[in-house]
């Protein structure tokens, strides 16, 4: 009997865990999501669609996606580099470095925006120089991208570090000792291993980039149809007593988060195919 139990939980444990986990998600995620859609559809589908057709809403959607895409490559490059250095090597001050990477989380988004105003604003450190050279950072798209970079800075690195730590470095070392170059090792060994973690990191930082309000709000200038992202637009619509419009726009953001469902399914499917291929080609060999 114990032999049966040992690699899986007992049936009742599974049921309890499922009930607790799903119940928690239902009350904390499911209901709020439902409430958003209920509000958005309060006056029926046509009103909902009209609210989304508004040109200012549409330009906000475009800007939100542009910023999220602009931020992504920077975050991936930094995340992988930082995780590589931290997880695979030992050096002094590692905990300090990790903590510094965490720091943007601890900075209130309101302050995060303010920090860039202090640097680039008209009264800021670089303000006069930027003004003299007609370079706009604050109250324009570049400033909003920088603020979003700041907010999403830790995600991918923090996602990858524990994963790469848990994986250890044996596989890479084996690859290198077999004569693989650095890039070969990275593309063929490291990247396949961290694919999942990287994907989660990308999804998280992406969601956060699209949903961020506080920091972006401070540096955006709120020019309608120009520097309003969806979250900023939602707030303005709500304040203008346009609840339908506000919740409709918010529901779009919720849907964008669900797009990850598609992304994940695709990656998952590709990976399954890949592992199946590998399994047929290679006999499983383990270094332990």
State which of positions 218-237 bind another protein (CB under 8 A): 218, 221-226, 230-231, 234-236
Q: Please identify, using beta-carbon distances, which residue of 183 and 281 lies nearer to another protein.
A: 183
Cα–Cα dist 252/247, whole Å: 9
Q: How near is the Cβ of 278 to another protein at its closest, in Å? A: 16
What DSSP letter does each residue of 42-82 carry, written as one string?
Answer: TT-HHHHHHHHHSHHHHHHHHHHHHHHHHHHHHHHHHHHHH
Binders of another protein in range 244-283 (CB under 8 A) = 246-247, 250, 253-254, 256-258, 260-261, 264-265
Contact pattern from residue 128 through residue 157 relative to another protein, giving x for each residue in contact according to CB under 8 A and a dash for the rest: ---x--xxx-xxxxx--xx--xx--xx---
Binders of another protein in range 75-94 (CB under 8 A) = 76-78, 81-82, 84-86, 88-91, 94
The pair of structure tokens assigned to 245 is: 């419009």
Among 239, 280, 281, 283, binds another protein (CB under 8 A): 239
At which residue do the structure tokens 């029926």 appear? 44
Q: Does 124 bind another protein (CB under 8 A)?
A: yes
Q: Would you say 119 and 138 are in contact if contact means Cβ atoms under 8 Å apart? A: no
Q: Is the dihedral of CA 167, 173, 179, 184 positive or negative?
A: positive
Q: How near is the Cβ of 200 to another protein at its closest, in Å? A: 5
Residues near 222 by beta carbon (within 8 Å), at least 6 away in sequence: 228, 232, 236
Q: Please identify, using beta-carbon distances, which residue of 49 and 261 lies nearer to another protein.
A: 261
Cα–Cα dist 180/54, whole Å: 55
Binders of another protein in range 38-67 (CB under 8 A) = 39, 66
Q: Please identify, using beta-carbon distances, which residue of 51 and 101 lies nearer to another protein.
A: 101
Q: Does 22 bind another protein (CB under 8 A)?
A: yes
Nearest CA-CA partner of 206 in 116, 75, 29, 57: 75
Among 52, 74, 188, 267, binds another protein (CB under 8 A): 74
Q: Does 31 bind another protein (CB under 8 A)?
A: yes
Cα–Cα dist 124/134, whole Å: 15
Q: Does 241 bind another protein (CB under 8 A)?
A: yes
């Amino acid at each position: 009997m114990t032999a049966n139990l040992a690699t899986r939980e007992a049936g009742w444990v599974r049921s309890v865990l499922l009930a607790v986990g799903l119940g928690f998600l239902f009350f904390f995620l499911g209901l709020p999501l439902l409430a958003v859609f209920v509000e958005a559809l309060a006056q029926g589908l046509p009103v909902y669609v009209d609210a989304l057709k508004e040109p200012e809403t549409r330009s906000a959607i475009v800007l939100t996606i542009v910023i999220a895409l602009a931020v992504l490559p920077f975050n991936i490059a930094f995340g992988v580099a930082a995780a590589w250095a931290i997880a695979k090597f030992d050096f002094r001050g590692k905990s300090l470095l990790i903590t510094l990477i965490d720091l943007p989380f601890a900075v209130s988004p309101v302050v995060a925006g303010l920090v860039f105003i202090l640097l680039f604003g008209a009264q800021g450190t670089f303000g006069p120089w930027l003004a003299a050279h007609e370079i706009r950072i604050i109250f324009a798209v570049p400033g909003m991208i920088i603020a979003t970079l700041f907010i999403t800075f830790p995600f991918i690195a923090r996602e990858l570090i524990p994963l790469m730590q848990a994986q250890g470095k044996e596989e890479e070392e084996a690859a290198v000792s077999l004569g693989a170059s650095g890039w070969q090792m990275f593309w063929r060994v490291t990247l396949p291993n961290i694919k999942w973690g990287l994907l989660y990191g990308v999804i998280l930082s992406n969601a956060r980039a699209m949903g961020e309000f506080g920091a972006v709000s401070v540096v955006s200038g709120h020019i309608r149809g120009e520097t309003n992202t969806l979250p900023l637009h939602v707030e303005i619509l709500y304040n203008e007593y346009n609840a339908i419009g506000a919740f409709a726009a918010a529901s779009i953001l919720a849907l964008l988060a669900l797009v990850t469902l598609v992304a994940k399914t695709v990656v998952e499917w590709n990976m399954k195919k890949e592992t199946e291929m590998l399994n047929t080609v290679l006999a499983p060999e383990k270094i332990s």
